[in-house]
């Protein structure tokens, strides 16, 4: 039988590809399509049942009501800021890990960076809530609960996801290139700007996919430390839960999806997807 | 310059671990309002946590879901990895994008899409299976990545040689391919398990109503005055216990230096 | 090759087809209105059968305590022992959450406030209740029976549980002098800017309307749930003006309790149970109904139409309004019990007077949570009032 398969590579490919493709393509994409189809319908607000009448009303509300634009800009802004903050903090840390630490130390350091990822996202957010509260350990910073607190907390939560790809990228960077650059007379900053940064850029972008995507859709951390602030995730969650308005939730959900798809398309060319 | 970098690393690690240290300390804090700094220490929360039925049930549910999702992801991820790495076909890029999609799109979108699909379209009740399906969907990419990285290094020569020597396809897989893949599969499996274990957003929308995984149990008990200290204990335990699988995953995938969430 | 493209197209097409088939059909009942809607034809249970051994209760926090919050507070276990129905309790924070959760069909009974009960009736999620099967119903206060929020066309849809007001609460050590008006929450110059905590639900717009009813009488608001365009805009603007004062909006009463305890919020709207809990944790808190009056709730236990445990459900209904259990809930939560005999069972005999349990006139003055609908609830026929969908949209706008 295997000989039969060997002679027919296409059949082998089909066999290998079908289950995952069916699962992801039919089940997942199908579910997504079904969800976004409801964006064209609406809910009867009294009975809460979905009425199958086609219209663009939901999208009209999304585009004309200023509050959704505000929330979108706020969310994208937070996600971008978190990404930049994490990149800036992660890079020196990853560099020290990749280039300065011994091989054994590297392994320990990677474990040290990865262990907190197991420490329940919720508990970490809650720890920040109590630290930033009126009588908490960091109350002297007094940002209160709000957008600043959200940015701090999200940056903290996603930092390991930024450190690890950059570390992997720097690890792959041959030391000889850095040395050569120094030999040619470049100072550290020039070396960084012209040699290290361009070569590790795909890795940085790979990390940014996570920090950006996780921040874009987050609603739990902002509920815990965000005070009165709302992000896109909250609007979707409130519409699905409290308002029982699936069509409108789907409409709002198109915003982060479109943004992420655009982001993925843009970064594909940088080769970041291979660095995940 | 080197000193600065070391300082940055040290400071960064300190910042990462400070809140965790607070949580660990609070699990011994006798004061239920977690006044800072803790004045009294007690082991009571730890003993209560050991017998807390809600937490133990949630832990068991999480483990079941994680194992099942990992198993499915291992199979599907490996198959997809072989397909994409070993063959050239039209649509290779869209397929690799499709594999990444469940993890790149915000969790809430995946969650409500699957919830709508299960409840409204298929008309089935939510339960453990629906959550497992959801988890497997975004765990596939974790395994996929690890296997692809390993396949890249392996090349196809050894398998060809094995078959030239007369082994059937299945024997080749069993004696040549699989041993080489094993550590990548283990690493991928561990990471997939970790991802499933800590996931809350998609789980909220796909798990059955009476059931709780550990993150959901934590979310429900975070603010309850009598349960919050136990939550701290659970969190502290997770941190300490997780060093083992993390270390294992590192050992096993050491050569691929896989970074990031995957 | 072509296979891939057609396969992708086929997947999407199949998805669309499934989506169109799967969603429930359009609402065929008459347009909703105050008692002007036609509830789906559902029958109440004719007779009790054997207890099914299980019961899923959807309840306001504090209504179905089973010892998990406080080991000493537990009236669920006696019920389980008496009837053999094992109880799973799910608490919710707002009426909207309750309506959404009922749609999953996985709960048997729900404690619905007036802004949820009619929606549940209209959508067919709740069925009529056969009060003859609930012996304790005979002892329920007459002014709670057959009201507009728990009965439709003379058919009873639930058993009254209790009622109370949304209170103004403040930290006695941080807020002096003790406030006597809601203006401490709404006034742009309130000295507690940034430390106010308000309820996170569109129904809170009624509280703003209630405030305007007293402070801007020229708007002509008679019923805070019946707001025409002008009145609604005024209420929304008041809340937008309030937003900078607010530190957090709460839907989880425990989160509110924690914020009040830590001093992140020093004044706000709360339930008596939250005040009791926070005081018990050591924070000095007081609560009262200010001069302008208050919104409140009158809760009804309803039976889910799709319930698989209807005998246990009816047994729960009878148990929870029995004098002893009703008194326990009323005392723990802090509300007026529905059962006339409950007052005698309370450990603190003054509570019934504090909550005006027997005072029908007082009960009539609270603006109970009701679902706003286009037909104005105050009887006006010359204007259209805002319905709950618009309240929800405005709420997102208010929070910004």
| CA atoms of B199 and B202, how far apart (whole Å) | 7
Residue of A nearest to B88 (CA): A13
DSSP helix/strand/coil, C155: strand
Residue from the list B104, B163, B219 with its beta carbon closest to the beta carbon of A260:
B104
B112 is written with which tokens? 């409500």
- Full 3-state SS string of C222-283: CCCCCCCHHHHHHHHHHHHHHHHHEEEEECCHHHHHHHHHHCCCCEEEECHHHHHHHHHCCC
Pick among C20, C65, C258, C261 to test the B interface (most B CBs inside 10 A): C258
Pairing outcome for strands C367-368 and C295-304: parallel
Q: Which are the contacts of A194, defined by CB distance < 8 A and separation ≥ 6? A: A181, A186
The mean pLDDT value for C313-341 works out to 92
State residue B34's pLDDT score. Answer: 59
State residue C8's pLDDT score. Answer: 45
Q: Is B196 exposed, middle or buried (0-12, 13-18, 19+ CB in 10 A)?
A: buried
Q: Would you list the DSSP string of A123-165? A: HHHHHHHHHHSTTSTTGGG---SSHHHHHHHHHHHHHHHHHHH
Which of chain A's residues have a Cβ under 8 Å away from the Cβ of C27?
44, 47, 49, 51
Rg (CA), chain A: 23
| CA atoms of C60 and C92, how far apart (whole Å) | 6
* Mean model confidence pLDDT for chain A: 85
Residue of A nearest to C398 (CA): A67
- Full 3-state SS string of chain B: CHHHHHHHHHHHHHHHHHHHHHHHHHCCECCCCCCCCCCCECCHHHHHHHHCHHHHHHHHHHHHHHHHHHHHHHHHHHHHHHHHHHCCCCCHHHHHHHHHHHHHCCHHHHHHHHHHHHHHHCCCCCCHHHHHHHHHHHHHHHHHHHHHHHHHHHCCHHHHHHHHCCCCHHHHHHHHHHHHHHHHHHHHHHHHHHHHHHCCHHHHHHCCCCCCCHHHHHHHHCCCCCCHHHHHHHHHHHHHHHHHHHHHHHHHCCCCCCCCCC
Pick among B69, B75, B88, B113 to test the A interface (most A CBs inside 10 A): B113
A168 phi-psi bin (left φ>0, alpha ψ -120 to 50, beta other): alpha
Which of chain C's residues have a Cβ under 8 Å away from the Cβ of B210?
56, 88, 90, 106
Pairing outcome for strands C159-165 and C295-304: antiparallel
Q: Report ipTM (2 d.p.).
A: 0.84
Any B CB within 8 A of A82 CB: no
| CA atoms of C52 and B25, how far apart (whole Å) | 46
| CA atoms of C9 and B143, how far apart (whole Å) | 27
Residue of B nearest to A125 (CA): B19
Residue from the list C11, C392, C399 with its beta carbon closest to the beta carbon of A230:
C399
Which of chain B's residues have a Cβ under 8 Å away from the Cβ of C106?
125, 209-210
Any C CB within 8 A of A139 CB: no
Report residue C27's pLDDT band, with 50, 70 and 90 as the boundaries.
very low
Any C CB within 8 A of B122 CB: yes
Report residue A274's pLDDT band, with 50, 70 and 90 as the boundaries.
low
The residue ranges of every structural domain in chain A are 2-38, 64-275
Q: Please tell me the number of Cα atoms within 13 Å of C242 on its side-chain side.
A: 29
Report residue B262's pLDDT band, with 50, 70 and 90 as the boundaries.
low
State residue B33's pLDDT score. Answer: 59
State residue B65's pLDDT score. Answer: 95
Report residue A272's pLDDT band, with 50, 70 and 90 as the boundaries.
low
- CB C294, CB C191: distance < 8 Å: no
State the DSSP code for A41.
S
Percent of chain C with pLDDT over 70: 91
Query: Which residue did the predictor score with more confidence, A268 or A242?
Result: A268
- Does residue C30 register a pLDDT over 50? no
Which of chain A's residues have a Cβ under 8 Å away from the Cβ of C12?
29-30, 33
A210 is written with which tokens? 């996570």
State residue C104's pLDDT score. Answer: 82
What is the phi/psi pair of residue A42, to 5°? -150, 170
- CB contact (8 A) between residue A264 and residue B198: no
Residue of C nearest to A130 (CA): C262
Any C CB within 8 A of B210 CB: yes
State residue B256's pLDDT score. Answer: 45
> If we measure between CA atoms, which residue out of C284, C264, C63, C92 comes closest to residue C169?
C284
pTM, entire model: 0.83
> If we measure between CA atoms, which residue out of C243, C290, C239, C281 comes closest to residue C260?
C281
- Does residue C24 register a pLDDT over 50? no
Report residue B37's pLDDT band, with 50, 70 and 90 as the boundaries.
low
Superfamily covering domain C54-164+296-361: Periplasmic binding protein-like II (3.40.190.10)
Q: Give the pLDDT confidence of C295-324 residue by residue, as tens digits.
A: 998 999 999 999 999 999 999 999 999 999
- Does residue C19 register a pLDDT over 50? no
Pick among A27, A97, A100, A120 to test the B interface (most B CBs inside 10 A): A120
Query: Which residue did the predictor score with more confidence, C161 or C355?
Result: C161
- CB contact (8 A) between residue C261 and residue B33: yes
Report residue C35's pLDDT band, with 50, 70 and 90 as the boundaries.
low
- Does residue C87 register a pLDDT over 70? yes
A120 is written with which tokens? 């329940």
User: C226-240 burial by CB neighbour count: b if 16+ within 10 A, else e?
Assistant: bbbeebbebbbebbe
| CA atoms of B87 and B146, how far apart (whole Å) | 17
C59's enclosing H/E stretch is strand C54-59
State residue A51's pLDDT score. Answer: 84
State residue C18's pLDDT score. Answer: 45
CATH 3.40.50.620 for domain B43-252: no
Superfamily covering domain A64-275: MetI-like (1.10.3720.10)
DSSP helix/strand/coil, A80: helix
- CB contact (8 A) between residue C400 and residue A51: no
B80-89, C22-31, C165-174, range with greatest mean pLDDT: C165-174
State residue C167's pLDDT score. Answer: 92
Report residue C43's pLDDT band, with 50, 70 and 90 as the boundaries.
confident
Question: In Å, how far from its chain's centre is CA B91?
Answer: 29
> If we measure between CA atoms, which residue out of A232, A208, A206 comes closest to residue A219?
A232
Which of chain A's residues have a Cβ under 8 Å away from the Cβ of B262?
276
| CA atoms of A227 and C175, how far apart (whole Å) | 21
Any C CB within 8 A of A143 CB: no
**Which chains are adjacent to chain C, needing at least 3 Cβ pairs under 8 Å?**
A, B
Q: From edge to edge, which strands make up the β-sheet containing C196-199?
A: C246-250, C196-199, C267-270, C167-171, C285-288
According to DSSP, the residues that pair with C339 across neighbouring strands are C140
The terminus-to-terminus CA distance of chain A in angstroms comes to: 37
State residue B32's pLDDT score. Answer: 61
Query: Which residue did the predictor score with more confidence, A182 or C218?
Result: C218
A48 phi-psi bin (left φ>0, alpha ψ -120 to 50, beta other): left
| CA atoms of A47 and A175, how far apart (whole Å) | 66
- Does residue C262 register a pLDDT over 70? yes
- Does residue C20 register a pLDDT over 80? no
> If we measure between CA atoms, which residue out of C293, C187, C295, C205 comes closest to residue C249?
C205
State residue B38's pLDDT score. Answer: 65
- CB C301, CB C111: distance < 8 Å: yes
State the DSSP code for C339.
B
DSSP helix/strand/coil, C390: helix
Q: Give the pLDDT confidence of A197-237 residue by residue, as tens digits.
A: 888 888 888 889 889 989 998 998 998 888 888 999 999 98
DSSP helix/strand/coil, C400: coil
Taking the C-alpha atoms of A114, A115, A116 and A119 in order, what is their torsion angle to the nearest 10 degrees?
A: 130
Which of chain B's residues have a Cβ under 8 Å away from the Cβ of A20?
76-77, 79-80, 83, 99, 140
- CB contact (8 A) between residue A48 and residue C388: no
State residue C153's pLDDT score. Answer: 82
Any idea which of B157-171, B195-209, C369-383 has the lowest mean pLDDT? Answer: B157-171
Residue from the list C96, C249, C392 with its beta carbon closest to the beta carbon of A228:
C249
Any A CB within 8 A of B215 CB: yes
State residue B35's pLDDT score. Answer: 57
Residue of B nearest to C90 (CA): B210
State the DSSP code for C346.
-
Pick among C98, C119, C265, C389 to test the A interface (most A CBs inside 10 A): C389
Q: Give the pLDDT confidence of C163-218 residue by residue, as tens digits.
A: 999 999 999 999 989 999 999 999 988 899 989 999 999 999 999 999 999 999 99
| CA atoms of C397 and C330, how far apart (whole Å) | 36
CA distance to partner chain A, nearest, from residue B215 (Å): 7
The mean pLDDT value for B48-57 works out to 80
State residue A276's pLDDT score. Answer: 63
C104 is written with which tokens? 């999953």
- Does residue A275 register a pLDDT over 90? no
- CB contact (8 A) between residue A228 and residue C248: yes
Residue from the list A47, A144, A228 with its beta carbon closest to the beta carbon of C122:
A47
State residue B191's pLDDT score. Answer: 84
Distances (CA, A) of A32 to A259, B114, C7: 15, 8, 16
- CB contact (8 A) between residue B210 and residue C255: no
| Residue that has been written with the tokens 């059931």 in this structure | B211
Cite the beta strand spans of chain A per DSSP E.
42-43, 50-51
Any idea which of A15-19, B79-83, C17-21, C139-143 has the lowest mean pLDDT? Answer: C17-21
- Does residue C2 register a pLDDT over 70? no
| Residue that has been written with the tokens 């630290």 in this structure | A131
What is the phi/psi pair of residue A187, to 5°? -80, 175
The answer to whether the C54-164+296-361 and C167-293+373-399 domains have the same CATH topology is: yes
The mean pLDDT value for B233-249 works out to 81
State residue C325's pLDDT score. Answer: 94
The residue ranges of every structural domain in chain C are 54-164+296-361, 167-293+373-399
State residue C371's pLDDT score. Answer: 85
* Mean model confidence pLDDT for chain C: 86
State residue C22's pLDDT score. Answer: 39
* CATH of the domain spanning C167-293+373-399, picked from 3.40.190.10, 3.90.45.10, 3.30.70.260, 1.10.760.10: 3.40.190.10
- CB C196, CB C246: distance < 8 Å: yes
């Amino acid at each position: 039988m295997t000989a039969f398969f060997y002679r027919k590579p296409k059949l082998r490919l089909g066999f290998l590809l079908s289950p995952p493709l069916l699962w992801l393509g039919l089940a997942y994409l199908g579910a997504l399509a079904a969800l976004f189809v409801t964006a064209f319908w609406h809910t009867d607000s009294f009975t809460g049942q979905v009425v199958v009448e086609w219209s663009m009303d939901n999208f009209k509300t999304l585009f004309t009501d200023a509050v959704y634009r505000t929330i979108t800009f706020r969310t994208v802004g937070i996600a971008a800021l978190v990404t930049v903050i994490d990149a800036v903090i992660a890079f020196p840390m990853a560099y020290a890990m990749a280039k300065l630490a011994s091989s054994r130390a590297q392994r320990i350091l990677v474990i040290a960076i990865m262990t907190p990822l197991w420490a329940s996202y919720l508990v970490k957010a809650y720890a920040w809530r109590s630290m930033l509260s009126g009588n908490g350990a960091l109350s002297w910073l007094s940002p209160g609960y709000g957008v600043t607190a959200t940015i701090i907390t999200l940056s903290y939560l996603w930092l390991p996801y930024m450190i690890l790809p950059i570390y992997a990228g720097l690890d792959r960077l041959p030391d000889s290139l850095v040395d050569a650059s120094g030999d040619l007379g470049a100072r550290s900053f020039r070396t960084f700007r012209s040699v290290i940064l361009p070569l590790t850029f795909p890795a940085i972008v790979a990390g940014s996919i996570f920090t950006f995507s996780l921040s874009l859709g987050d609603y739990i951390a902002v509920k815990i430390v965000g005070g009165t602030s709302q992000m896109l995730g909250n609007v979707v969650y409130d519409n699905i839960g409290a308002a029982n308005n699936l069509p409108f939730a789907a409409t709002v959900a198109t915003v982060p999806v479109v943004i992420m798809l655009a982001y993925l398309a843009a970064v594909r060319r940088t080769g970041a997807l291979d660095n995940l | 310059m080197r000193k600065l970098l070391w300082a940055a690393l040290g400071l960064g690690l300190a910042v990462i671990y400070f809140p965790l240290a607070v949580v660990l300390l609070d699990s011994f804090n006798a004061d239920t309002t977690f006044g800072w700094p803790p004045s009294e220490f007690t082991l009571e929360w730890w003993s209560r946590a050991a017998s807390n039925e809600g937490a133990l049930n949630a832990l068991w549910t999480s483990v079941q879901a994680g194992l099942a999702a990992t198993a499915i992801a291992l199979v599907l991820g490996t198959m997809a990895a072989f397909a994409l790495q070993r063959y050239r076909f039209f649509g290779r890029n869209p397929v690799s994008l499709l594999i990444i999609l469940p993890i790149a799109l915000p969790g809430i979108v995946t969650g409500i899409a699957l919830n709508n699909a299960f409840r409204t379209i298929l008309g089935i009740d939510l339960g453990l299976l629906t959550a497992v399906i959801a988890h497997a969907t975004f765990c596939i990419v974790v395994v996929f990545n690890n296997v692809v990285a390993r396949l890249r290094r392996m090349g196809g020569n050894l398998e060809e040689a094995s078959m030239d020597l007369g082994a059937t396809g299945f024997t080749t897989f069993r004696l040549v391919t699989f041993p080489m893949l094993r550590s990548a599969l283990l690493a991928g499996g561990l990471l997939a398990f970790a991802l499933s274990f800590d996931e809350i957003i998609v789980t909220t929308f796909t798990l059955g109503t009476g059931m709780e995984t550990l993150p959901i149990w934590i979310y429900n008990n975070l603010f309850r005055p009598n349960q919050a200290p136990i939550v701290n204990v659970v969190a502290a335990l997770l941190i300490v216990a997780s060093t083992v699988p993390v270390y294992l995953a590192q050992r096993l995938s050491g050569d691929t230096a896989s970074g990031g969430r995957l | 090759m072509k296979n891939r493209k057609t396969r992708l197209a086929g997947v999407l097409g199949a998805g669309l087809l499934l989506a169109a088939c799967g969603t429930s059909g359009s609402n065929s009942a008459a347009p909703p209105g105050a008692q002007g809607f036609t509830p789906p034809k559902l029958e109440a249970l004719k007779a009790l059968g054997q207890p099914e051994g299980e019961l899923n209760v959807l309840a306001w926090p504090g209504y179905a305590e089973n010892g998990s919050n406080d080991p000493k507070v537990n009236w669920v276990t006696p019920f389980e022992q008496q009837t053999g129905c094992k109880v799973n309790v799910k608490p919710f924070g707002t009426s909207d959450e309750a309506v959404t959760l009922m749609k999953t069909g996985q709960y048997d009974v729900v404690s619905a406030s007036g802004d949820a009960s009619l929606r549940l009736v209209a959508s067919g999620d709740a069925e009529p209740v056969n009060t003859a099967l609930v012996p304790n119903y005979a002892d329920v206060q007459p002014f709670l029976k057959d009201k507009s929020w728990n009965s439709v066309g003379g058919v009873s849809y639930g058993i009254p549980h209790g009622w109370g007001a949304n209170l103004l609460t403040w930290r006695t050590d941080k807020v002096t002098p003790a406030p006597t008006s809601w203006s401490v929450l709404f006034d742009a110059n309130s000295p507690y800017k940034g430390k106010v905590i308000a309820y996170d639900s569109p129904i809170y717009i009624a509280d703003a309307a209630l405030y305007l009813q007293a402070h801007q009488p020229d708007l002509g608001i008679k019923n805070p749930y019946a707001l025409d365009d002008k009145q609604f805009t005024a209420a929304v603007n008041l809340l937008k003006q309030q937003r900078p004062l607010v530190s957090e909006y709460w839907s989880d009463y425990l989160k509110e309790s924690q914020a009040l305890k830590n001093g992140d919020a020093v004044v706000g709207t709360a339930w008596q149970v939250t005040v009791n809990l926070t005081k018990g944790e050591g924070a000095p808190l007081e609560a009262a109904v200010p001069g302008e009056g208050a919104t409140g709730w009158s809760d009804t236990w309803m039976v889910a139409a799709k319930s698989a445990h209807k005998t246990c459900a009816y047994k729960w209904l009878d148990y929870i309004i029995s004098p002893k259990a009703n008194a326990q809930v009323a005392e723990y939560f802090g509300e007026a019990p529905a059962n006339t005999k409950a007052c005698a069972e309370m450990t603190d005999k003054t509570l019934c007077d504090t909550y005006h349990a027997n005072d029908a006139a007082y009960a009539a003055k609270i603006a109970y949570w009701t679902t706003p609908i286009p037909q104005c609830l105050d009887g006006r026929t010359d204007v259209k009032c805002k319905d709950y969908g618009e309240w929800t949209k405005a709420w997102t706008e208010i929070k910004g």
